[in-house]
Amino acid sequence: MPFPIKAVRSAYPALTDGFAYLDGAAGTQTPQMVIDAISSAYRTGIGNVGGAFPASHRSGAIVTGCRAAVADLVGGHPDGVILGPNMTTLTYRLARAIAGPGDEVVLSRLDHDANVRPWTQTGATVRWAEVDPVTGELPVDQYAELIGERTRVVAVTAASNILGTRPDVAAIAELAHRAGALTYVDGVHATAHGPVDMRALGADFYATSAYKWAGPHIGAVVADPALLETISPDKLASSPDTVPHRFETGTAAFADLEGVTAAVDHLAAMVPGTGTRRERLLTSMAAAEEHERELFAGLIAGLETMPHVTVYGKPARRTATAYFNVAGHTPRQAAGHLAGLGVNVWNGHNYAWELTGALGIRDSGGAVRAGLVHYNDASDVDRLLEGVARLSW
């Protein structure tokens, strides 16, 4: 059955403004049901959690529902879902609790800086996994050398937010686990682009952000609750010491958490399906992945055939994310020209600090990023390619 792109697009009010939204890797638009869920939480009345009155109970139920939804999305356990404002904040918090001076951490230059700097700043010794700058691949074989008996954590991305590279995380995790190390997998970019099974990936920690997959600005890190029991982050004396609560600081954005659950429900319902929400998510996200793959084949082939365009990377397994420069134009100028034609793309290093450094383009403004998500269609791709073609004049 073809992906019901018209129905999917019609769920997003913002997509009617005439722009081609190819900036999804920096944050997606929001479906009406997510907007409704957030406003309904406020309209119905919410309180802080732990009180004796119904509005407080409603907030408690929202948090529980959100943990269950995120667990379904990534194949984790609801009691191991840590919720917070964004992935960066949660990763700083976890990194400090997990690693420190005397430990070794293995980081990759493929990663977004949010899965790099929180680890380097723990004081642990850093060992680097390098990227092939031509293909954009992260070779697995180097990990056998990098991981040793002092390795506490191997932090690696499930997909690059600029090149789209999907490294072989399962193989890296196997090497890490053999040495007794933990894996911290950045799924912020990957989660939007296909079904996720964090156990199959070998992720001890799997980080994601709902605003990359149709939800509000909320981050989550998912782990086995038994593993979380062994870690003690800094916390207030007065806040709960239970798991996963002890990893969460302050008062949660309850209405937004209701929006996260609605976003997961939206993703699960993009294509007709039966079974549990987890089963419907697997079906629906596989269909979305195929839809993106088909559209992206035309997008990347179109860019690669333009003589004035340099495309970075050619990874074998990738998300529908293209990173390129246009001769004679800075990335900002190219993005500005496309914006004038109603095409939203990003420009810059996009926080892929190490990777743009390895590609030798960080100091010259990085490149242009155009990415597809489930709600993009063929006309978005056509408009991008026409706009970039016009830059050769």
Of the two residues 98 and 385, which places its CB atom closer to ligand PLP in the complex? 98
Of the two residues 182 and 188, which places its CB atom closer to ligand PLP in the complex? 188
- The amino acid occupying position 177 is H
* Residues 272-301 close enough to bind ligand PLP by CB under 6 A: none
What is the number of helices (H) and of strands (E) in the chain?
A: 14, 13
**Residue 69 to residue 82: CA distance in whole angstroms:** 12
| DSSP conformational letter for 124 | P
CB neighbour class for 383 (10 Å; exposed up to 12, middle 13-18, buried from 19) = middle
Widest distance between CA atoms in the chain: 68
Which one of residues 11, 71, 114, 268 is an interface residue with ligand PLP (CB under 6 A)?
114
Residues binding ligand PLP: what is the number (CB under 6 A)? 13
- Our finding on whether 87 is near ligand PLP (CB under 6 A) is yes
- Our finding on whether 373 is near ligand PLP (CB under 6 A) is no
**Residue 164 to residue 209: CA distance in whole angstroms:** 17
Which SS3 state, helix, strand or coil, does residue 364 take? coil
* Residues 202-221 close enough to bind ligand PLP by CB under 6 A: 209, 219
- Our finding on whether 256 is near ligand PLP (CB under 6 A) is no
Select from 46-54, 142-150, 185-193, 359-367 the region that touches ligand PLP (CB under 6 A). Answer: 185-193
- Our finding on whether 189 is near ligand PLP (CB under 6 A) is yes
Which SS3 state, helix, strand or coil, does residue 294 take? helix
* Residues 128-157 close enough to bind ligand PLP by CB under 6 A: 157
Q: How far apart are the first and last CA of the chain?
A: 41
- Our finding on whether 92 is near ligand PLP (CB under 6 A) is no
Which residues have C-beta within 8 Å of that of residue 79, sequence separation ≥ 6? 67, 225, 243, 244
Residue written as token pair 């600029």: 162
Of the two residues 28 and 302, which places its CB atom closer to ligand PLP in the complex? 28
Select from 168-176, 186-194, 285-293, 337-345 the region that touches ligand PLP (CB under 6 A). Answer: 186-194
Of the two residues 108 and 122, which places its CB atom closer to ligand PLP in the complex? 108
Contacts with ligand PLP by CB under 6 A lie at 86-88, 112, 114, 157, 161, 186, 188-189, 209, 219, 351
